[in-house]
Amino acid sequence: MDEITKVRPAAVELDDLDTLEAESMFIIREVVAEFEHPVMLFSGGKDSVLMLQLARKAFAPAPVPFPIMHVDTGHNFREVIEFRDKVVDEYGLRLEVASVQDLIDQGIIKVGHELESRNRHQTRALLDAIKDGGFDAVFGGGRRDEDKARAKERILSFRDKFGQWDPKNQRPELWHLYNGRHKKGEHIRVFPISDWTELDVWRYLSREQIELPPIYFAHEREVVDNEGLLMAVNEFFPLPDGAESHTKMVRYRTVGDATLTGAVPSQATTYDLVIEETAVSRITERGATRGDDRFSEAAMEDRKREGYF
Amino acid sequence: MPATEILRIATAGSVDDGKSTLIGRLLHDTKSIFEDQLESIERTSEKRGDEQTDLALLTDGLRAEREQGITIDVAYRYFATPKRKFVIADTPGHIQYTRNMVTGASTANLALLLIDARKGVLEQTRRHALLSSLLGVPHLVLCVNKMDLVDYDQRIYDEIREEFTSFAAKLDITDLGFVPISALQGDNVVEPSPNMPWFHGQPLLGHLEDVHIASDRNLVDNRFPVQYVIRPQSAEYRDYRGFAGSVVGGIFKQGDEVMVMPSRKASKIAAIDTPDGEVAQAFPPMSVTIRLEDEVDVSRGDMICRPTNQPTASRRFEAMICWFDETSHLRTGAPYQLKHTTRWVAAEVEELRYQLNVDTLHRDLTAETLEVNDIGRVAIHTTSPLFFDEYRINRTTGSFILVDPATDLTVAAGMIISAGGDVGAVSDTASIVAENITFHPSKLSRDERWGALETSGATIWMTGLSGSGKSTIATAIEHTLVSSGRAAFMLDGDNLRHGLNANLGFSPEDRDENVRRTGEVAKILAESGTVAIVSLVSPYKAERDRVRALHEEAGIPFFEVFVDTPLEECERRDPKGLYAKARAGEIKDLTGVGSPYEAPESPDLVTSPDLEEAVRQVLALLP
């Protein structure tokens, strides 16, 4: 085979995943070029794993030029924290932890009891950490297909000096011309994977053979049916009185506070099987697994207004 | 899995058109609505006391939208078929949401417009079509909805189709498709409708799956705005210097000769890196890192192109802008920040040329400002040059946003029409043109040239309706002058449209460009010592004034001659059969019939109806 025939014919089309990847890399680079202190939220969940992977690609062969931040409720799945630390170590990242537990210990956040959901308290921990770290851009892994309120949010989303989002006063966002200008004390949330769907995320992670925390794949676990959510029974979710637990094959579609994130029954032990399941799933990932989004029609909008991711 | 493309769709319209029902049906029939979403909107609908589940709730994501039952903002919806992925940017249709429509259309491959078969083409339909055309959306699909309510009557569909087609001819729309549907009943949405056997086209979804979009990209003009310079500080990559960015035009190949704007330094592409390794070529919309063979100074905001195909570099340009900000209005002369590709520059709007009425296409030359949702043409001046292409050539290198430095708000979005060349800046000729392109002053002065040739040039600009007799008079003048030994040359509008202006249509922008080019050619001819006789309808006063200013700036005599034949007389003559066609509805943009003619206010001459007298009058003008 001579030199010329080795060169493949000129294909000038990108498939959907390559297109999404290219657009996300563009957004991440724009922000790093125009902001002084960006930081990327990293929970160990699949969306933040994807986002971090895209950031690595955007600056290769140089390292990721910003730290990552974990908003830690103290109610973590053990496997996820192990995974987080492994990733930090492997990629040589700088990790900032915004700890809800610290704020509770300092008496800044008051909780009723130890095991109540700390989901909402993450907002305070996050906003404090943004302020203390002097961050002017915060990457988040929100996607528009997740929730109605997120479907309306800009890719670069302005936050006032109290960290608040005003959905009715959003900056228009046209073409790929992002306006991240802001005054001191204000900041911008950046959602580089806005246009990815849950299925896209899975297909991409599978294609790239990227490691995820093991709880994303089907495994045996002791669970209890609690108001329609399949909750893992552990120190964060003791078996309610009178309830009966079962050992089932389950996996997690999202990773959040362990007191309110439910599992789904699943036999999907590999990427391919998860993709199959996702493709035929008739329930959104948040509806299936998150107690926090079930409170009201506008649960996410309300939390976002206050400064939540 | 085979490569699937992403098709971005912009929809606009009100609930009345059945838009939400249509989107709901597309999502539903492609199994893209989740059960919990459906349950949740069912609950809300029940709570509000709606008779049926309101599918609009799927897209109305904000509390205020749900409570008030209105759509405020752009909502994005996603669905997929085995052939394609679709992103719908759904926007409200009312005029006060023009800015939302513009936002949704800015990245769309296809605009989906809905018409209620019972109501026909409405003002709103025309506005949506105009905005799609203005934003350069390459494909337009018109769904004639609620066919079930008109007994699936082909005649009604045909009438709407015809009416819209002739309206669309006025706009810059290259691909127009029609589908008669009933979103409620599902006719022709996913499956062909048994109720409309007379319709032989594809159902809507099939059309969306098949419309060819790969060629919408500009793969000819190589453009690479540098986003970020990658310089790893590690030992392994000590000498690595890569320029990261997105390819926004053309195909870059390893080994290509390139040039970097604005330094104009030339080099060759050493390699094109992606995180997955080197590639032989990069094309839109790839995000890549380009390495050059030479150590050239390149930073963010620079543009890599080809030495033989460069973008325009200029600090002045003409653009259409849409005003977005509710809290301020356009202030000419005020400082704005402008973002174009990966550059921010300080800018001012020098002049508002006119405001465009998006319902009637009327241009209001007296407008003094633009407010929220207004669209107008402006002249912009930036502190440092931009490297751009016309928006119609490249949607990325031809677009920009304006930001108010006091509030940091995005106040306007713009589409570049052309490099500057404007009445206000005539005394500042050098700055009109590209920063680094200087005029080559001709070695001969005009007086030397005219003196040696014993001649003097001038431009006679004959304007008037089609059929008014311009060309007849012009031909007679040319003949008379040349016979008498004086250099003269006739520039006829029709003839120029076969050559120099062959790529122009009859939209207002194209008409402007037609006049601009003809004016430039006339000026060059006149400068050479020839009498240029222009015979051109040139309906707009502003453009004629611009040509006059161009001549006056160069000190060349210019005479505007108005051949003021009444419309009825032109129509009676109708030498090219245009009026007959216009009246029959075959052409819609004929000046005087479907398109306005702005008569000169103070022409140098209004010709006599008598040909010989007219010729004598014109000749008397010449020095």
HSE-up (13 A, CA, CB side) for residue B395: 20
Least confident of A97-111, A189-203, A262-276: A97-111
User: Would residue B440 count as lying in a domain?
Assistant: no
Residue ranges of A 104-163 with Cβ closer than 8 A to chain B: 144-145, 147-152
**CB neighbour class for B82 (10 Å; exposed up to 12, middle 13-18, buried from 19):** exposed
How confident is the model at residue B423, as a pLDDT? Answer: 34
The answer to whether residue A9 neighbours chain B at the CB level (below 8 Å) is no
Q: Angle at the Cα of B535 (from B551 to B561), degrees rounded to 5?
A: 65
Structure ipTM: 0.86
Q: How many CB atoms lie within 10 A of CB B96?
A: 10
Residue ranges of A 207-246 with Cβ closer than 8 A to chain B: none
Same domain, B63 and B207: yes
What would the two tokens of residue A289 be?
A: 């697994």
Domain boundary among B216, B248, B282: B216
As a whole number, mean pLDDT of residues A35-48 equals: 93
User: Would residue B608 count as lying in a domain?
Assistant: yes
DSSP reduced 3-state for B294:
coil
User: Would residue B517 count as lying in a domain?
Assistant: yes
The answer to whether residue A198 neighbours chain B at the CB level (below 8 Å) is no
Domain boundary among B191, B216, B241: B216
Predicted confidence (pLDDT) per residue in A258-281, tens digit: 777 888 888 889 988 888 888 777
Q: Which residues pair with B386 in a beta bridge?
A: B314
Please give the positions of B annotated as active site. Answer: 538
> The pTM is what?
0.74
Cα dihedral B503, B225, B75, A261 sign: positive
As a whole number, mean pLDDT of residues A97-124 equals: 78
Q: What percent of chain A has pLDDT over 70?
A: 88
- B225 or B359, greater pLDDT: B225
Q: What is the CATH number of the domain that holds B294?
A: 2.40.30.10
Would you place residue B424 in the very low, low, confident or very high pLDDT band (cuts 50, 70, 90)? very low
Least confident of A219-223, B222-226, B421-425: B421-425
Would you state the torsion angle of the CA atoms of residues B13, B16, B18, B20, taken in this order, to the nearest 10 degrees?
Answer: 60
As a whole number, mean pLDDT of residues A158-178 equals: 88
What residues in B contact A195, CB-CB < 8 Å? 76, 78, 87
Residue B357's H or E segment, with its range, is none
Least confident of A28-37, A92-101, B407-416: A92-101
DSSP reduced 3-state for B211:
coil
Q: Which residue in the set B287, B339, B395 is minimally distant from A179, CB to CB?
A: B339
Q: Which residue in the set A7, A29, A179 is minimally distant from B244, CB to CB?
A: A29
As a whole number, mean pLDDT of residues B276-286 equals: 92
Same domain, B349 and B285: no
Mean pLDDT computed over every residue of chain B: 85
Q: Closest Cα of chain B to A47: distance in Å?
A: 17
Predicted confidence (pLDDT) per residue in B369-401, tens digit: 999 889 999 999 999 999 999 998 999 999 999
CB B463 within 8 A of CB B606: no
Mean pLDDT computed over every residue of chain A: 84
User: Would residue B438 count as lying in a domain?
Assistant: no
How confident is the model at residue A5, as a pLDDT? Answer: 36
Of B581, B463, B485, nearest to B533 (Cα)? B463
**Domain ranges for chain A:** 14-197, 200-299
φ, ψ dihedrals at B104, nearest 5°: -65, -35
How confident is the model at residue A299, as a pLDDT? Answer: 64
pLDDT at A3 over 70: no
Would you place residue B2 in the very low, low, confident or very high pLDDT band (cuts 50, 70, 90)? very low
What residues in B contact A23, CB-CB < 8 Å? 285, 287
User: Tokens 């009723």 belong to which residue?
Assistant: A112
CB B473 within 8 A of CB B607: yes
Residues in chain B: 623
Q: Which residues pair with B47 in a beta bridge?
A: none
As a whole number, mean pLDDT of residues B522-541 equals: 91
Q: Which residues pair with B363 in a beta bridge?
A: B356
Same domain, B552 and B454: yes
How confident is the model at residue B422, as a pLDDT? Answer: 41
Give Dmax (Cα) for chain B.
Answer: 90
C-alpha–C-alpha distance, residues B250 and B269, integer Å? 14
Strands (E), B504-600: 531-535, 558-562
CB B262 within 8 A of CB B313: yes
Of B417, B441, B453, nearest to B172 (Cα)? B417
What's the Cα-to-Cα distance from B614 to each of B353, B567, B570, B573, B611, rounded to whole Å? 33, 19, 17, 18, 5
Q: What is the CATH number of the domain that holds B80?
A: 3.40.50.300
As a whole number, mean pLDDT of residues B56-77 equals: 66
As a whole number, mean pLDDT of residues B467-483 equals: 89
Same domain, B519 and B569: yes
Same domain, B301 and B316: no
What would the two tokens of residue B427 be?
A: 């005394």
Residues in chain A: 309
As a whole number, mean pLDDT of residues B266-276 equals: 93
Domain that holds residue B319: 312-432
Strands (E), B231-286: 242-246, 252-253, 257-261, 265-274, 277-279, 281-282
The answer to whether residue A175 neighbours chain B at the CB level (below 8 Å) is yes
C-alpha–C-alpha distance, residues B267 and B259, integer Å? 6
Same domain, B466 and B608: yes
Edge-to-edge strands, sheet with B84-92: B75-80, B84-92, B5-13, B110-116, B139-145, B175-180
Same domain, B19 and B89: yes
What would the two tokens of residue B210 be?
A: 């098949």
Q: Which residues pair with A156 in a beta bridge?
A: A190
C-alpha–C-alpha distance, residues B509 and B503, integer Å? 12
Return the CA Rg of chain B: 28
What's the Cα-to-Cα distance from A16 to each of A196, A264, B75, B204, B319, rounded to whole Å? 10, 28, 20, 21, 33
Q: Which residue in the set B40, B75, B337 is minimally distant from A297, CB to CB?
A: B40
Q: What percent of chain B has pLDDT over 90?
A: 44
pLDDT at B325 over 80: yes
- B541 or B70, greater pLDDT: B541
φ, ψ dihedrals at B192, nearest 5°: -60, 145
User: Would residue B437 count as lying in a domain?
Assistant: no
As a whole number, mean pLDDT of residues B32-42 equals: 71
Same domain, B104 and B21: yes
As a whole number, mean pLDDT of residues A202-213 equals: 92
Q: What percent of chain B has pLDDT over 70?
A: 90
User: What single letter denotes the amino acid at residue A260?
Assistant: L
As a whole number, mean pLDDT of residues A143-152 equals: 80
The answer to whether residue B611 neighbours chain A at the CB level (below 8 Å) is no
As a whole number, mean pLDDT of residues A24-46 equals: 95
What would the two tokens of residue B53 be?
A: 């589940």
Q: Closest Cα of chain B to A108: distance in Å?
A: 30
CB B429 within 8 A of CB B566: no
**CB neighbour class for B311 (10 Å; exposed up to 12, middle 13-18, buried from 19):** buried
Q: How many CB atoms lie within 10 A of CB A286?
A: 22
Domain count for chain B: 4
Residue B615's H or E segment, with its range, is helix B611-621
Beta pairing class for B281-282 and B252-253: antiparallel
**Second CATH level (architecture) for the domain A14-197:** 3-Layer(aba) Sandwich (3.40)
HSE-up (13 A, CA, CB side) for residue B244: 27
Predicted confidence (pLDDT) per residue in A217-236, tens digit: 988 888 888 877 888 888 77
User: Would residue B439 count as lying in a domain?
Assistant: no
Cα dihedral B396, A166, B124, B321 sign: negative
Q: Which residue in the set B34, B76, B103 is minimally distant from A144, CB to CB?
A: B76
Same domain, B467 and B600: yes
User: Would residue B67 count as lying in a domain?
Assistant: yes
Least confident of A249-253, B54-58, B574-578: B54-58
Q: Which residues pair with B147 in a beta bridge?
A: none
Contacts of B194 (CB under 8 A, 6+ apart): none
The answer to whether residue B400 neighbours chain A at the CB level (below 8 Å) is yes
DSSP reduced 3-state for B80:
strand
Predicted confidence (pLDDT) per residue in A230-256, tens digit: 888 887 778 788 888 888 898 988 887
pLDDT at B306 over 90: yes
pLDDT at A298 over 90: no
CB B415 within 8 A of CB B136: yes
The answer to whether residue B285 neighbours chain A at the CB level (below 8 Å) is yes
Same domain, B193 and B246: no
How confident is the model at residue B100, as a pLDDT? Answer: 81
Q: Closest Cα of chain B to A148: distance in Å?
A: 4
User: Would residue B538 count as lying in a domain?
Assistant: yes
How confident is the model at residue B593, as a pLDDT? Answer: 84
DSSP label of B511: H
Residue B160's H or E segment, with its range, is helix B154-168
As a whole number, mean pLDDT of residues B361-371 equals: 90
Cis previous bond, A213, omega within 30: no
Give me the total of CB pairs closer than 8 Å, taking one residue from chain A and one from chain B: 188
As a whole number, mean pLDDT of residues A32-59 equals: 94
Contacts of A47 (CB under 8 A, 6+ apart): A141, A142, A143, A193, A201
Q: Closest Cα of chain B to A156: distance in Å?
A: 12
Q: Closest Cα of chain A to B204: distance in Å?
A: 21
The answer to whether A59 contacts B107, with C-beta atoms less than 8 Å apart, is: no
What's the Cα-to-Cα distance from A145 to each of A193, B58, B77, B79, rounded to whole Å? 10, 11, 7, 10
How confident is the model at residue B71, as a pLDDT? Answer: 60
What would the two tokens of residue B527 be?
A: 């400068």
The answer to whether residue B43 neighbours chain A at the CB level (below 8 Å) is yes
